[in-house]
Amino acid sequence: MTPRADDKPAFRMRDLPGVDVLEWEVEQHGWTTETEAWAAELSRLLFGIDEDATHAALDKRGRLVIGGSTFDDIGDRAIARVEDWEKHFEVLRSFRDEADAYWASVGWDVTDGKGKQLIVMQYLARPLICIIKSLHPSARLAVSEEGSAYLSFNAERFVADRGEG
């Protein structure tokens, strides 16, 4: 079922543990080496991977690594594989209304509660997409027991609000 624009999201990024504190810090002081490291650590804690793990890279033996998988591709085949991988993240390059529609369609509110997208999404969006699309074997929503209960409650509310449960 495709969500309507007025559907409530199942999950609010700003309510995940640590997101609001990092968001405040970045709003006050901008991105620094410290806040970038903090964002990477927060992403690993919440999603099992950080933003770096969502990009294509070469391992120590010169093999292509994408989404936790290693390939021996070289040349045009490697370029094509990277281009295919990056298509998963095209929404991040779209206009704001298209991005908002995407996040709503997958049940996430990634705003500050006032309609502005969270600044921390710069580091959390790609790992979140890896979870949503099951792109990376280490990507998973990993929150505390309290946070997990909150997410479970809201997921149940999400389904009930849609009349699917």
Using one digit for the tens of pLDDT, what is the confidence trace for 10-51?
A: 899 999 999 999 999 999 999 999 999 999 999 999 999 999
- For the chain, the helix, strand and coil percentages under 3-state DSSP, each to the nearest 5: 55, 10, 35
Q: Does residue 112 lie in a domain region? A: yes
Contact 43, 141 (CB under 8 A): no
The residue range of the domain holding 122 is 11-53+91-162
pLDDT tens digits along 112-132: 999 899 999 999 999 999 999
Q: Does residue 72 lie in a domain region? A: no
Across residues 133-140, what is the average pLDDT? 94
Residue 123 makes CB contacts below 8 A (sequence gap 6+) with: 36, 39, 40, 42, 43, 50, 51
Q: Does residue 111 lie in a domain region? A: yes
CB count in 10 Å sphere of residue 153: 10
Contact 143, 42 (CB under 8 A): no
pLDDT value for 12: 92
Domain count for the chain, please give it.
1
Q: Does residue 77 lie in a domain region? A: no
Is a pLDDT exceeding 90 seen at residue 142?
A: no
Q: What is the value of pTM for the model shown?
A: 0.79
pLDDT value for 146: 54
Structure tokens of 24? 């405040």
Rounded distance between C-alpha atoms, residue 140 and residue 145, angstroms: 15
pLDDT value for 159: 42
pLDDT value for 6: 55
pLDDT value for 24: 94
Rounded distance between C-alpha atoms, residue 91 and residue 68, angstroms: 21
Rg (CA), the chain: 17
Contact 23, 14 (CB under 8 A): yes
Q: Does residue 65 lie in a domain region? A: no
3 — pLDDT class (breaks 50, 70, 90): very low
Tell me, rounded to whole angstroms, the distance of Cα 87 from its chain centroid: 15
